[in-house]
Amino acid sequence: MLTGIYASPCNTSRSNLWSYLDNLANRVKLPGLIVGDFNELLSYSDKIGGSQHYRFGGMQDWVCRNGLIDMGYQGADYTWKNNFVKERLDRGFCSCDWRLLFPDACIMHLARMKSDHCPILVKHNHSSRTTRRNSPFRFHAMWMQHESYMDMVNETWNNCSGDLQVKTTTLAHSLSIWNKEVFGNIFKQKRILLARICGIQRSLGRQNIPFLLNLEKDLISQYEQIRDAEALFWRQKSRDKWLCEGDRNTKFFHLTTMIRRRRNKIDGLFDASGVWTDNPAAMKQIAADFFKNLFTVVVDHELRFHIPWLFPDIDTNNFQRMNRPISDQDVHDALFRIGRLKAPAVDGFPALFY
């Protein structure tokens, strides 16, 4: 069981929290993780600067009563700051049973972004194997945010001679190389930036150094850009039309992508007699027979004479419109009505690229 905490900054209101959590633990006998903003200190080492009066309440007794384990942390020493006052108000506790289930889990203090609090993340280290397969080219919208993207595309496109197919094939090859050598792996960049920011914030927790303060701001700005690119990556991959610009809930959209991938899998088929089968060869035959019967119809050539108005008349104006040549404007209008990040064509480029 996971319990998220956002404790009141008022001591009187916060005092009711500990008895509530006691009752919850007595009623729900499950391995538990409790994480969030407790708005209270656990020890004197959790604060630098300012008065420590009124910063202690019932949390220490609550931890002892329930035999909870402080999960510790990785990253910055303090999760809240105001001028020269720094405090560790965000933390995670778990029960003994929960720790036995997840012995490698830890709390990470992430970089402060647009608030005075440092968000926390529960990380569980696990080993997994992935198999890389050669996949066809796919254009990524996040590339367009890079400062050198436009120059690279213009140079490659203008220096290539040939029709549209030749140009897109050449550009796809150049973009693949540019992605590896210039744009890079955003997930690896994100891990490196987080590690650097956490190290700097640990140092700043001991002493304020102007150079490190400026470097922290620069790295956080880069981290924000990486998060924007990651959100765009998962937005394109999930193909959710209703996703609003700026939403960076990347974990959620990663999950929707995995769910959609599982939903598109065919586990079995019913044959014409209603018998279920999951044999791949039999499923292939069922699908072939279904569409063969669907599109193979014995037509009585005299049937059309017995059905009035089988094909309605088309007036001259509509007939001329239907038969007129396709103009460049028609192609333009059709292209720009396509969803920007919908499924791309066979060349891997979505409508957004054009």
Looking at the structure, tell me whether residues 8 and 74 fall in a common domain: yes
pLDDT of residue 31: 92
Domain membership of residue 317 (yes or no) is: yes
Question: How does pLDDT run across 280-297, given as a tens digit for each residue?
Answer: 899 999 999 988 888 876
Q: Which domain holds residue 175?
A: 141-263
Looking at the structure, tell me whether residues 209 and 276 fall in a common domain: no
Percent of the chain with pLDDT over 70: 79
Domain membership of residue 207 (yes or no) is: yes
Least confident of 141-155, 178-192, 248-262: 248-262
132 pLDDT tier (thresholds 50, 70, 90): very low
- In sequence order, what are the residues at sequence separation of 6 or more whose Cβ sits closer than 8 angstroms to the Cβ of residue 311? none
CA-to-CA separations, 152 to 52, 146, 159, in angstroms, rounded: 57, 10, 11
Domain membership of residue 180 (yes or no) is: yes
pLDDT of residue 329: 93
Looking at the structure, tell me whether residues 57 and 119 fall in a common domain: yes
Domain membership of residue 131 (yes or no) is: no
On whether the CB atoms of residues 169 and 252 are closer than 8 A, the answer is no
253 pLDDT tier (thresholds 50, 70, 90): low
DSSP label at residue 316? H
Looking at the structure, tell me whether residues 288 and 237 fall in a common domain: no
Give the end of a domain, one of 88, 123, 158. Answer: 123
- Predicted TM-score (pTM) of this structure: 0.51
Looking at the structure, tell me whether residues 157 and 257 fall in a common domain: yes
pLDDT of residue 328: 92
pLDDT of residue 76: 74
226-244 mean pLDDT: 73
Looking at the structure, tell me whether residues 153 and 115 fall in a common domain: no
Q: Parallel, antiparallel, or unpaired for β 74-75 and 106-109? A: parallel
pLDDT of residue 128: 42
Instruction: Report how many domains make up the chain.
Output: 3
Question: How does pLDDT run across 141-178, given as a tens digit for each residue?
Answer: 899 989 999 999 999 999 988 888 899 999 999 999 99
- Dist. CA 42–CA 93, nearest whole Å: 12
Looking at the structure, tell me whether residues 241 and 274 fall in a common domain: no
Closest C-alpha to 109, from 212, 14, 205: 205
- Dist. CA 348–CA 354, nearest whole Å: 12
Looking at the structure, tell me whether residues 115 and 148 fall in a common domain: no
Looking at the structure, tell me whether residues 28 and 71 fall in a common domain: yes
Domain membership of residue 190 (yes or no) is: yes
Domain membership of residue 220 (yes or no) is: yes
354 pLDDT tier (thresholds 50, 70, 90): confident
Looking at the structure, tell me whether residues 213 and 147 fall in a common domain: yes
Domain membership of residue 129 (yes or no) is: no
- Dist. CA 118–CA 36, nearest whole Å: 11
pLDDT of residue 251: 58
Output the six-digit token pair for 252: 């959620």
- Dist. CA 193–CA 219, nearest whole Å: 7
- CATH number of the domain bearing residue 24: 3.60.10.10
Domain membership of residue 52 (yes or no) is: yes
- Sign of CA pseudo-dihedral 197, 201, 204, 210: positive
pLDDT of residue 254: 62
| Radius of gyration over every alpha carbon of the chain, rounded to an integer in angstroms | 30
Give the end of a domain, one of 239, 263, 287. Answer: 263
Give the end of a domain, one of 209, 238, 263. Answer: 263
Burial class (CB in 10 A: 0-12, 13-18, 19+), 277: middle
227-239 mean pLDDT: 81
Looking at the structure, tell me whether residues 11 and 105 fall in a common domain: yes
pLDDT of residue 246: 47
Least confident of 72-76, 206-210, 279-283: 72-76
307-336 mean pLDDT: 82
Looking at the structure, tell me whether residues 249 and 301 fall in a common domain: no
**pLDDT mean across residues, the chain:** 81
Burial class (CB in 10 A: 0-12, 13-18, 19+), 276: exposed
